[in-house]
Structures are given as C-alpha cells and as structure tokens.
Amino acid sequence: MLAERRGIVGAPGRAHRRPHPDAGCAPRPGTADSRAARLRRAHQLPEHGRGHGLRHGRGGGDRRAVPPDRRGRPTGSRAARARHPVGAHQVVHPGRQQPTRRVGVVHARRRCDRRQRPRTHRGGPAADVGEAGPVTPSRPTQYWAGRRTEAHQRFRAARDLLLRHRADHRAAYAEFRWPRSTTFNWALEWFDVIAEDNAASALELLANDGTARRVSFADLSAGSDSVANWLTGLGIRRGDRVLIVLGAQHELWECVLACLKIGAVVIPSYPSLTRTEAADRVRRGGVRHVVCRADLTALFDDIPVPGGRIAVPGSVPGWSDYSAAALDDRPFLPTGPTRSDELAFCYFTSGTTAAPKLVGHTHASYPVGHLSSLFWNGLTPGDRHLNVSAPGWAKHSWSSLFVPWSAEATILVPPDGPARPELLPRLLMDAAATTFCAPPSTWQAMRPHLRSARPPLREAMSAGEPLAGDLSAEIGRSWGVAVRDGYGQTETTGLIGTTPGLTPRAGWAGLPLPGYRIVLRDPATGRFGDTGEICVDLTDGPVGVLVGYLDDAEATGRALADGVYHTGDLGERDATGWIRVLGRRDDVFKSFDHRISPYELEAVLGRHPAVSEVAVVPRAHPIGGAVPHAVVVAGRGHAPGPALGEALLAHAALHLAPDLRPRSVEFADRLPRTTSGKIRRAELR
C-alpha cells in the first residue's frame, strides 16, 4: 500500500549493495523489531533457533552445499533434516554432525543484511522443492516463504546464465535449461527476496508534467503483504479467481503480488471494459471476487459476483474500501507452498479474428516462462524500463511485471490512459529510460515527434506486428538505437526474437528464443519444413506454454494436438534459421495461386510519405479467388482521394511483383484496433 507510515512517496532511494550468494557474509544480529520478530508476535509463533552464520574468510571446513536426493529431499541425518527443513540452504563442515544453516547470503547487488527467516504454515506442509513427486510431509514444518529456496536458486541461476550470454544468442540457446521445481511462488520466493531492505525504485509512476511517484521494492513487498492479509480476511482463498479492473496505479501491482502470494488466480482487465465485456468475463472466467477502480464499480451493479467486491480507492456502498488494507501491517503468512502447476493467471485474448479466448497460465508458465522474454528484452539489473501496453493484456504482465522485476529493474509507468505519442520522447528522456518497448502503432504515431527529444535508450523493441523497415531506420537516425522485433502470444511467453546480440532485419522476427524449439508445419499435410504454421515443439516440455483454454476443451485439444502448440500464425524460415511471421492463418490468403502476406504489402505501402496507417485485406475476385485491397489512413497534410489512391498503386507497382500488388485502395479516418493495438482485419473485409 502507498501510505504515509511507510514513506513510499518521495525521492528514489539508493539500492543497497549485497554480496553474491557464493561470497558469504556475516549475518546482521536480530533485533526486537525485526520482521521475523513481528511475524512471530503477529502469528503467535515460537522463537526459532538462529543457527550459525558464515563469515567470509573466517572459520574452517569445507563449505559445500548439501545436494538434495533424487526426489528433492535434503540428505543427511534424520535429526539434521528435522532441524533444517527443505528450502533452508545448508553447508557441511567436516567433523560436525549437525549441518550449519547458511544465513546472510544474498545477491551481489544488494547489501549484506538479509537473514533467512522461517515462517510456519497455517497448519500447512513444508515446501517440496524437488523436480518431481507430490508434496506429502507427515507433519507441519517450517516454510521459507519469500526466502532463498532451492526454487529461487534455480530461477536465479537460469536468469544469470541469460544475463551472462545476453549478447551471444547461440550460446544462450545452447546452454539454457528451464528451471523446474515442484513448488514455486514468484512473489514470495523471488520478489520478496530481491525486495527486502531494497530502497531502489520498483515502480515510478510518471506524470506528463515530468514528476514521478516512486515506490521502492521494500515498500511494495510490505504493502503487498498487508493487502494479502486483508484480502485473506475478506475470504479470498487459494484458487479463487479475482477479476482486477485497475489502471496504471500502484495498487494494480500491489494487488497482483498479493493475489500471487495467497495463491488466488488473477484475471487482469483494462479500465475501458464495457458492461457487456464485464458480464462476459465474470461468467466465463468463473470470477468469485472483483477488485475495481472506484469510478468503474457501476459496471458490476447488475452482475452477480459471489464473493467480495473491493473498490480502489475510496468508499462505495456495497464495496469494501481497499484503503483499509493499510491497517494490517503484519508480514504475510502463506497457508503452504505453491505448486508450480497451480493456476495463477487467466487472460482473455484480444480476439482479432474471433471471440476472445480464456487462456490459463500457472505459477511456472508465466513467471518462469518469461525468462525467454527477458532474454529478448535484454534488460539487466538497474535498468529503467518503460512499456506501452494497457493493463489487462498479457503483454502488460510480460513487460510491466515479470521481465523487469525478474531482471531487478525499475518499471517506469506512463500516465494512465492512451499513450500520447507527442509526449513520449520527452517522457522517456526525462525519466532516463534505458529500455523501451511499444507496439508498431505507437512507434508509427511517434514518428513525427522523434526529434523532439533523444532518450538515453540502450534497448528498443517492438512487438505485436512487424515494424516497417523505414520507420526502424528513422528511429535509429533520430535516437541512435536499433529497434528489435519479437514474437509471442497470450498463450505463450516470448517465442522468437531479435535479441541484443543480433542485427535487426526488416520484416524478420528473429531466431527462436532459449527454451523453445520452433517448427513450421504445413497445415494441409502436417509435414515440417521451412514454411507453414509456426508451432512450438512440446517434446521437452517448454515451460512457457498455456495449460489450455479454460472454457473450451475442444479448442485446447486443437491447439495442443500432434505434439506441438499451434500458434495459428504462418511463417517462413531462411537458411540461417531466421523466422518471418506472415500473419494469422485467417489473414494470409491466396491470390492467383500466390500466397499473400498482409504484412509484406503493408510494409511497402507504409513507406509512402502520405500513409499514416495501412491494412491489407482480401477482396473477392471471380478468377483469382481473392486480390489484395488496401485500407489507408492518410498522413497529416495529405488529402485522401482518387489522386492519392493512384499514387499509392503506382508506388506499390515499383516495389512489388505484379501478382502481389494491391488492386484497389480505400481511405478511412482510422483503422479498427483492439485495446492492445492489433488491427481488427475481420471488420475491414
């Protein structure tokens, strides 16, 4: 929670420095007001033994980590296992019968002042961090919630490998292996670890006037603890589905973290939700509770919601006031470990060609799966990342949650509402952004304003549809940074991308990202080759793939048939392994036996100075079956009409083969788009 008692709002604090986990350091003595002490008092827990700390350069013995057995259980004597439950990092000293708990060991970029602190489940079992096997302890034991568990260590090791090879795509692809654990809760076992005593900015909510509201990692961790306790008191339980309808406000991130800690399932949505969409999401999503911005609560007046209704912020009759969560400042105590295969998120797709689908993701498939996205984005610890994506879409969770915080970077949040392209360059510069990701529609809208400011970007990315080559070149001339393309879906994490060590190629998405084997399958014959539907080979169990469409078993069966995940997009691969996305199977069409990719034609027409936006769709033809038809939004200072239409057709004739040229042009004031920025081509046909 943002509250005066926590001092969250204000100037950004300096990130505390801590030694690397392998370095060792002295534990800070416990104090009466420590978080562990407050937790014991709040939950009436017994005092736990402190164990022995390790000081760098002091003490003898062989400090070797005790490996777990094949089922992920700690080795050693039965008494030692009882004293040191699964998840506590142990070391062995020759000549000592009792293993020593390793405490005060934290990451190199943080101060040496963290301590392992046990939390006991509310009657729950101990965490099993093995790679297989059920969680079946015989009695309640300690659970190292929010601490450096084996699952945390595996996640960190995989992340650090990608950081180490960030400029070497082929090395990263060859060496990366998904970190797999039976249990993992990213909010408790990753975010809380990097957040403790960390005064660096986790969030900076930017305003158009150049000011920013800052929330530190430590305060966001404590605030989400308070919210998790409060939501639990309201009756939200593990597995409950919670619809969150919030804008770009700090409560959004706080609430998502709190739900992840509880084990509740998050269904994100956007503030422009209509009443019809709200009713559909509650019904199809199996929603039990709603967290909603106070001014939007009327959307749910006539919609049955079986559980809690929570207004953010302020008092609304019939709704619980979110601000009350600040009154509960206890550290959150989880009911038990979170299985990696438990449902964590439900996303509704953008529905560009059909009704939105309900996609299910687990505590592994999205938090862990986005390691591939992190490699594409190219973020490193300390970066300042701004992403243009509306809350409620999977791309927002990708680039405004999991990727930056898995990289230990700061999330720069643009002002709530639609992006203002004329202000974005200055906003990026004033916020000292180092990385930036936006859809092609935003990049195109910024084009006239690129020279209004020169942000200090190291990485720039575009996702959703291919970025026009001439626009990418103009950005490079104006800002001195190459824009890299990438490809992923709501159903997956990042699949294909031009990563920091690769040179961008106009119209090409890039190479398969680490952790994924991408195959191209002919939809008619099922044969694999260099052209066809882009599919993910499921043989090795890639982590970042959906569990299914939760309200449509038939669609799930089709999507995961034949040992692959079918993306529904067509593509082609060249001799070097690079992949180009041609478009949705429903959008790519045949004309006189030639396959037409709308993206290819749009890239050519988009290079004409009179074109602001363009979409190519098929129009019926009595002989050819279909022919390309262009729908154009004229640029500023250009009058739409027959003369401009003839000029555009002549331009296409210069750059396209005769069978690929558009046969007709029409003009529109705007192109129909989804909230996520994708063109609704079905409306143009």
- Domains of the chain in start order, with CATH, are 587-683 (3.30.300.30)
Report the pLDDT value the prediction gives residue 597, as an integer from 0 to 100: 76
Q: Is the pLDDT reported for residue 317 higher than 60?
A: yes
Q: Are 666 and 379 in contact (CB under 8 A)?
A: no
Sign of CA dihedral 21, 25, 31, 33: negative
73-87, 334-348, 490-504, 611-625: range with lowest mean pLDDT: 73-87
Report the pLDDT value the prediction gives residue 111, as an integer from 0 to 100: 34
How is residue 617 annotated by DSSP? E
Q: What CA–CA distances, in Å, run from 164 to 47, 332, 380, 518, 670?
A: 41, 34, 10, 23, 44
Residue type, 350: S
Q: Is the pLDDT reported for residue 101 higher than 80?
A: no
Share of the chain above pLDDT 70, in %: 77
Residue type, 182: T
User: Once rounded to an integer, what is the mean pLDDT over residues 360-366?
Assistant: 98
User: Once rounded to an integer, what is the mean pLDDT over residues 15-31?
Assistant: 36
Report the pLDDT value the prediction gives residue 656, as an integer from 0 to 100: 84
Q: Is the pLDDT reported for residue 219 higher than 80?
A: yes
Q: Is the pLDDT reported for residue 154 higher than 90?
A: yes
β-strand 410-413 against 384-387: which pairing, if any?
parallel
Report the pLDDT value the prediction gives residue 42, as an integer from 0 to 100: 52
Q: Is the pLDDT reported for residue 544 higher than 60?
A: yes
Q: Is the pLDDT reported for residue 107 higher than 60?
A: no
Tens digit of each residue's pLDDT (9 = 90 or more) over 399-416? 999 999 999 999 999 998
For 164, residues 6+ apart whose C-beta sits below 8 A from its C-beta are none
For 450, residues 6+ apart whose C-beta sits below 8 A from its C-beta are 425, 474, 475, 478, 479
> What average pLDDT does the structure give for the chain?
81
Query: What is the 3-state composition of the chain as percent helix, strand, coil, each rounded to the nearest 5?
Result: 30, 25, 50
Tell which wins on pLDDT, 411 or 92: 411
CB-count burial class (<10 Å; 0-12, 13-18, 19+) for 138:
exposed
Q: Is the pLDDT reported for residue 175 higher than 60?
A: yes
pLDDT band at 110 (very low <50, low <70, confident <90, very high): very low
* Three-class secondary structure of residue 258 per DSSP: helix
pTM listed for this prediction: 0.74
Tens digit of each residue's pLDDT (9 = 90 or more) over 565-602? 999 999 999 999 999 998 887 777 767 666 777 888 88
Tell which wins on pLDDT, 457 or 674: 457
Tens digit of each residue's pLDDT (9 = 90 or more) over 64-77? 333 444 333 344 43
* Three-class secondary structure of residue 310 per DSSP: strand
Share of the chain above pLDDT 90, in %: 60
Of the candidates 616, 660, 608, the residue with the CA atom closest to the CA atom of residue 634 = 608
Report the pLDDT value the prediction gives residue 587, as an integer from 0 to 100: 75
68-82, 89-103, 277-291, 429-443: range with lowest mean pLDDT: 89-103
β-strand 142-143 against 119-120: which pairing, if any?
antiparallel
Report the pLDDT value the prediction gives residue 682, as an integer from 0 to 100: 77
How is residue 385 annotated by DSSP? E
